[in-house]
Amino acid sequence: MNFDKIIFFHEHVNGDCFQSRIIINHIINKTKHLNIEYYYTANRAIYSHALDLGILDENFNKYQNLIYNLPCYIENNILYINIWIGLFNHINKICVLCMKNILINYNLLISEINKITNLNLEFINT
């Protein structure tokens, strides 16, 4: 494994914090046996909405992300994952109210994560 921390991030506001819980929960559940530390960065959000998912309040907005144009990348033994719901909207149009294509787009993100890591995360059932 070439990282020991995962930082979930987006540059948007509280609605994205709620929507991203789907992918955060999935990734944490599939990796919690690996002793990875989890962090969440959403600078415009009021507070973290992921405490019950396993991200401690003190791990909210602790790290800054400088690259927003990639779905994920590894730097300094940290895996950064862009969890903005609109990341793959140019491929599959989504609807956050009816959940159309959200899981399909999250599976595209999982595919990108699997390309740069050896996590081999399974896809979310759609």
Domain boundaries along the sequence of the chain: 5-116
Quote the pTM value.
Answer: 0.91
Question: How far is residue 77's CA from residue 95's CA, in Å, rounded to a whole number?
Answer: 34
At residue 14 the predicted structure's pLDDT band, cuts being 50, 70 and 90, is: low
| 34, 73, 100, 105, 124 from 61: Cα distances, Å | 22, 18, 29, 25, 27
The pLDDT score that the predictor gives to residue 70 is 92
